[in-house]
Structure 1
Amino acid sequence: MTKKILVAYDGSEPSKQAVMEAKNHAIETVDREIHVVSVVKPTGPFTNAAVSKSIGDEMAKKYEKELEFIKEENEDENITIVTNVLVGELENNPGEDVCTYAEEQGIDMIIVGSRGLGNVKRIFLGSVSNNIVQHATCPVLVMK
């Protein structure tokens, strides 16, 4: 049986630690797969559509480069790394998009950073990680 681990990645230090933790967990199983996923959101209803698309495209390219680097960096580890940049729905918290992806892919565990790179740093658990903890149908590990 393949053990599938999903890492919600936003480029923050906790999400980078989550990638390392996923590798540590994956080592324990024979047939393993790590999904590293980033969510790009539209900028908002008050932003010009062309500007919103341009910003979204820029963010997607940034994440694609980072995820490709993660994939290349771990090629020799004998772990299958799957990377995806998801375009989320404006009205959804990115955590909802991560949970939907996890269900669709049959993910066994999600690893997420405690706080990301959002505009407002949370004192406690970040809004995305909190959303994932609340809505995921599989175990969730939160990295500090």
Structure 2
Amino acid sequence: MKQILVCYDGSSNSDKALKEAIYYARKMNGEIELVYVKDEKGFASSVLANETHAIPTIPTHATSTMYPGTLPLIPESNNIEEEGETGHSLSQVDNVFREANVILTKEKMQVKTHLLVGKPSTEICNYAEEQDKDLIIVGSRDLNAIEKIAMRSTSEKIVKEATCPVLVVK
């Protein structure tokens, strides 16, 4: 398991998932890639809320290498665009990757980062398969009774859809 994909959204559970990935990467001399997925529904509403502000964005698929303690943390791209249908607010992505950088700096780890826009479970599983990842690590989220009836959690969907092993961290 040398290629580890970590689903990271800045939550305390994704922090736990990142720490677990660091542990496995060190034990197996593996590589970590953080993936942040902006749900396209949330993205559409954030575009409408900021329609009068021109915010620089990056395309829906962008990759970079993050070195502990360095900035910028957002995935690099040659196609910086104004905010629109195919982009994602740099400040939102930057905040999430800054949170990850606190852990990475402390652990002296280098990782690759990747931004996706779409349905989180589908995007994560497709990306893991395309990139031939050996393991997906994701934090769990407790759902209340109504949420459990109405929908499955993203981590549960990833477990069912993924073609590689998935580790869910609580």
Structure 1 residues 33, 76: CA separation in 2 closer, same or farther (over 3 Å shift)? farther
Deviation per CA, 1:2-59: give whole Å up to 9, x if none: 71111111221111100000001111123x2111111112237xx679517869734x
Q: TM-score, normalised by structure 2?
A: 0.63
Q: CA deviation at 1:64?
A: 2.9
Aligned counterpart, 1:61: 91
> Using a 3 Å threshold, how does the CA distance of structure 1 residues 61 and 36 change in structure 2: closer, same or farther?
same
CA contact (8 A) 2:10 2:100 kept: no
Give the TM-score normalised by structure 1.
0.73
Q: Which blocks of at least 5 consecutive residues in structure 2 are unaligned?
A: 52-82
State the partner residue of 2:100.
70
Which residue of structure 2 aligns with residue 38 of structure 1?
Answer: 36
SS in 2 for 1:43: helix
Q: CA RMSD of the aligned region, Å?
A: 3.3
In the aligned structure 2, how far is the partner of 1:49 from the partner of 1:26?
Answer: 35
Q: What is the rounded CA distance, in whole Å, between the counterparts of 1:122 and 1:15 in structure 2?
A: 20
Who wins on radius of gyration, i.e. which is larger?
2
CA distance in 2, matches of 1:82, 1:128: 22
Give the paired residue count.
Answer: 132
Partner of 1:13: 12
Shift of 1:84: 1.3
Residue 74 of structure 1: how far off its partner (Å):
2.4
2:48 to 47, 51, 58: 51
Identity across the alignment (%): 39
